[in-house]
């Protein structure tokens, strides 16, 4: 094995960069002061950082898992605007003592995820530093391609509420890991879908632009929990988001995890009744004109969810 400290920044990057597929939009790639990316007239930008401890644990997540999760969580934010992802930059802080193969696994998984969820996009730049605890900061870019950004404020009474992706699986996986009743390896064998949904989620990124084209009036990605995120649309749009309890109970997870689990990275959107829904989205409720916020069959549900400073 060779540690990152032994190889130095340059040596470590030489092991990292070859695993990345060049973005088809890149005019100047990694290695200069900045990258240059072909771009449309409207640039969509999002950034998300994962901290060891607060956001992940190395005994639960491999570096490959982290590569997948860092890419997915950023791409879904781009998708939730109705945009097409074009590229991303990754800033990594890792302990110098770790084996460089961890970096390679991270790069391979990040690239695989990017090729799968947003073919044509690529990693256009990055930054590698030493840090006692691992920190992964990703900034992703997208192009509106002539569409209007889909905000949180456009939901209208009578719209249908739809979801693209899983709900509750990540929360269920986290609950299994947190219970600590079985070794992680065994949990991965026995509950592969739930554990993967939490540590290495994938999401239907391509449905973001498809939902925008279908006429989505509002959209976001479910990261802090369905109720908390739906509450953001309800407040911004001044409407009630009335979920259909039976539709939510049909997901393959406890209702508690569906409502509050968070980190699903599904796309939650509202569309007019007459809109033709893209394949792969599921109707889970209806928008009403009321100040009730988020309800289940009209009954108010408690808004609670994720705040990184309050756990």
Closest CA to 219 of 165, 275, 267: 267
Asked if residue 240 binds its own copies (CB under 8 A), the reply is no
Smallest gap from Cβ 42 to its own copies, in A, equals 6
User: How many CB atoms sit inside 10 A of residue 202's CB?
Assistant: 19
Contact region with its own copies (CB under 8 A), list: 60-68, 80-88, 170-178, 190-198: 80-88
Smallest gap from Cβ 309 to its own copies, in A, equals 5
Smallest gap from Cβ 103 to its own copies, in A, equals 12
Find the farthest-apart pair of alpha carbons in the chain and give their distance in angstroms, rounded: 62
Contact 248, 284 (CB under 8 A): yes
Annotated binding site for ATP: 126-127, 152, 223
Contact region with its own copies (CB under 8 A), list: 61-69, 91-99, 104-112, 251-259: 91-99
Which position among 60, 111, 112, 128 is part of the footprint of its own copies (CB under 8 A)? Answer: 128
Q: Give the β-pairing of 160-164 and 267-271.
A: antiparallel
Asked if residue 98 binds its own copies (CB under 8 A), the reply is no
State which H helix or E strand residue 74 sits in. helix 63-79
Which position among 107, 109, 135, 275 is part of the footprint of its own copies (CB under 8 A)? Answer: 135
Asked if residue 133 binds its own copies (CB under 8 A), the reply is yes
Distance in angstroms (rounded) separating the CA atoms of residues 106 and 90: 11
Which position among 20, 44, 167, 253 is part of the footprint of its own copies (CB under 8 A)? Answer: 44
**SS3 label, residue 105:** helix
Contact region with its own copies (CB under 8 A), list: 48-56, 106-114, 168-176, 179-187: 48-56
Smallest gap from Cβ 137 to its own copies, in A, equals 4
Distances (CA, A) of 169 to 42, 45, 163, 174: 34, 27, 14, 9
Contact 48, 138 (CB under 8 A): yes
For the window 51-70, what string marks contact with its own copies as x by the rule CB under 8 A?
Answer: x-xxx---------------
Contact 44, 143 (CB under 8 A): yes
Contact 155, 219 (CB under 8 A): no
Contact 80, 88 (CB under 8 A): no
Dihedral sign for Cα 182, 184, 186, 190, please.
positive
For the window 190-219, what string marks contact with its own copies as x by the rule CB under 8 A?
Answer: -----------------------------x
- Site residues (CB under 8 A) for its own copies, limited to 279-308: 307-308
Residues that bind its own copies (CB under 8 A): 4-5, 7-10, 12, 27-28, 32-49, 51, 53-55, 76-78, 80-81, 83, 87, 89-91, 93, 96, 124-133, 135, 137, 139-142, 144, 149, 151-152, 219-221, 307-310
């Amino acid at each position: 094995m060779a540690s990152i400290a032994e190889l130095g920044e340059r040596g470590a990057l030489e092991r990292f960069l070859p695993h990345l597929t060049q973005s088809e939009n890149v005019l100047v790639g990694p290695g200069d002061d900045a990258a240059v990316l072909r771009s449309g007239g409207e640039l969509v930008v999002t950034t998300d950082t994962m901290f060891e401890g607060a956001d992940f644990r190395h005994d639960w997540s491999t570096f490959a898992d982290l590569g997948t999760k860092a890419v997915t969580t950023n791409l879904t934010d781009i998708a939730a605007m109705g945009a097409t992802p074009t590229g991303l930059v990754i800033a990594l802080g890792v302990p110098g003592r770790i084996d460089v193969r961890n970096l390679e696994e991270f790069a391979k998984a990040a690239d695989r995820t990017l090729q799968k969820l947003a073919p044509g996009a690529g990693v256009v730049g990055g930054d590698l530093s030493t840090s006692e605890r691992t920190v992964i900061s990703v900034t992703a870019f997208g192009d509106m391609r002539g569409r209007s950004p889909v905000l949180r404020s456009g939901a209208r009474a009578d719209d249908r509420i739809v979801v693209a992706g899983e709900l509750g699986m990540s929360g269920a996986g986290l609950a299994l890991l947190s219970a600590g009743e079985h070794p992680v390896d065994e949990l991965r064998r026995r509950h592969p879908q739930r554990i993967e949904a939490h540590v290495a989620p994938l999401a239907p990124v391509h449905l973001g632009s498809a939902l925008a084209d279908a006429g989505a009036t509002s959209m976001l990605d479910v990261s802090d929990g369905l109720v908390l995120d739906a509450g953001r649309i309800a407040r911004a749009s001044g409407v009630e988001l009335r979920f259909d309890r039976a539709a939510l109970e049909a997901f393959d997870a406890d209702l508690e995890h569906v409502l509050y689990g968070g980190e699903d990275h599904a796309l939650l959107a509202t569309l007019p009744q007459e809109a033709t829904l893209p394949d792969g989205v599921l109707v889970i409720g209806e928008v009403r004109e009321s100040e009730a916020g988020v309800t289940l069959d009209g009954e108010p549900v408690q808004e609670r969810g994720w705040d990184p400073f309050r756990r």
